[in-house]
Amino acid sequence: MSSTNVQRYPGKPSHGARLILIGLGVVLVGLAAFGIAKRVHARHELTQETDRNAIATVATVAPKAAPKDQALTLPGTVTSWQDAQIYARTTGYVAKWYVDIGTKVKKGQRLADLDTPDVDNQLLQGKAQMRTDIANMNFAKVTADRYEKLVTQGLVATQTGDQYVAQYKADVATVEADEANVAHLQNLEDFKYIIAPFDGVITQRNLDIGALVDAGSTGADMFVIADTSTLRVFIDVPETYAAGVHIGMPAEVSLNTYGAKPITGTVARTADAIDPNTRTLRTEIDVDNKAQELVPGVYANVKLAVSTSTQNFIVPANTLLFRAEGLRVALVDATQHIHLQPITLGRDFGSTVEVIEGLNDNDHIVLSPPDSLYEGQQVSIAKQSKALQQTMAK
């Protein structure tokens, strides 16, 4: 019995099967390529988003021009038009005083009397001495006239006549000296009556009956008198506004102490020079006070309508950066990079401030700048909100 072994070999795939396999391979390759491309695109978008997030977005505002004519309010000191400390011009004792503090007096009105026994006696002595010297002068004149006649007749020597004439002239000089001395003593005698030098009010009385007062200003004054018919108000105008102050301009003076209505005064004079220590201009405002409603020495607020020679700007207070090197604002330039600009402030209005130096009208100022901002940092500008635009327009 014989058996036959049959060996089988796999057959070659058909043409259709090969096409299917190729199609599957292409699909797999396409899916792989699509996945790779999608990941690359996602990575690219992530990179761009990261770069965009790295650039800070800031809101900016343009500075608002401050008006040329501005109401400037400054503290002032009220003083009287004139005041004087009254001292004794002769030594004596207080015999009587007629006025006390708060008394309104007129020029020439008697304020007090002094008892001056020493001056009285000196005056009597001086007058007696003058009478004696006048008698001697008259006798010397008679004698000189007689000897001049004798000299003319040749009865006595010329030298003798000249001696008597010289004696007469010496007596005349002695009488003139006596007259000057008596006048001086009479002045001291008149100074025993203390009188007011001008119309005003007594603000101090520093004497009592029986008190000894010495002549001159070495001792205490007896009275202080002040003329309050017109008041002087002194203020110190900052250098920035000094050019806008001129004589004759009106000023509004408010005295909070009395709660009175503001009073209109006039700039009467200025120091016409800037104080190098305070950089201010000393200015005086005169206020009519004939009604005696105000008193000197009080604190006042003075409002002036000044015009500045420089262009100032108003910016929000939240644009300020306080750095170690000084006050700054963050500006965004044309290439959207940060520049930290130093500025000088003027007045503070609360939510806004005045900048008197360091800005231009075409600047873009960063609102609420973070402390992390640095010079040259790139930023992007956000659109300004309508609310902010309305706020800055006011």
Would you give the DSSP letter of residue 319? G
Q: What pLDDT does residue 6 have?
A: 47
Strand partners, 212: 93
Closest CA to 331 of 364, 292, 282: 364
Q: What pLDDT does residue 2 have?
A: 44
For the chain, which domains are there? 57-69+311-393 (2.40.420.20), 75-79+232-307 (2.40.30.170), 117-191 (1.10.287)
User: What is d(CA 278, CA 181) in angstroms, rounded to the nearest whole number?
Assistant: 52
pTM of the model as a whole: 0.59
Per-residue pLDDT in tens (0 to 9) along the chain, 394 residues: 444 454 454 555 566 777 777 777 777 777 777 777 777 777 767 666 555 556 788 889 989 887 777 788 899 999 999 999 999 888 899 999 999 999 999 999 999 999 999 888 999 999 999 999 999 999 999 998 888 888 888 888 888 888 889 999 999 999 999 999 999 999 988 999 999 999 999 999 999 999 898 887 666 789 999 999 999 999 999 887 888 888 999 999 888 766 667 888 999 999 999 999 999 999 999 999 887 777 888 888 999 988 766 678 889 999 999 888 889 999 999 898 999 999 988 777 888 988 888 898 889 999 989 888 888 888 888 876 444 444 454 5
Contact 241, 283 (CB under 8 A): no
Each residue's pLDDT tens digit, 269-290: 999 999 999 999 999 999 998 8
Q: How far is CA 355 from CA 53, 295, 299, 365, in A?
A: 33, 37, 28, 12
Strand partners, 79: 232
Q: What pLDDT does residue 231 have?
A: 92
Single-letter amino acid, residue 296:
P
Cβ neighbours of residue 151 closer than 8 Å, sequence gap 6 or more: 157, 158, 160, 161
Closest CA to 222 of 321, 72, 85: 85
Each residue's pLDDT tens digit, 195-210: 999 999 999 999 999 9
Tokens found for residue 346 = 């003027």
User: What is d(CA 265, CA 235) in angstroms, rounded to the nearest whole number?
Assistant: 13
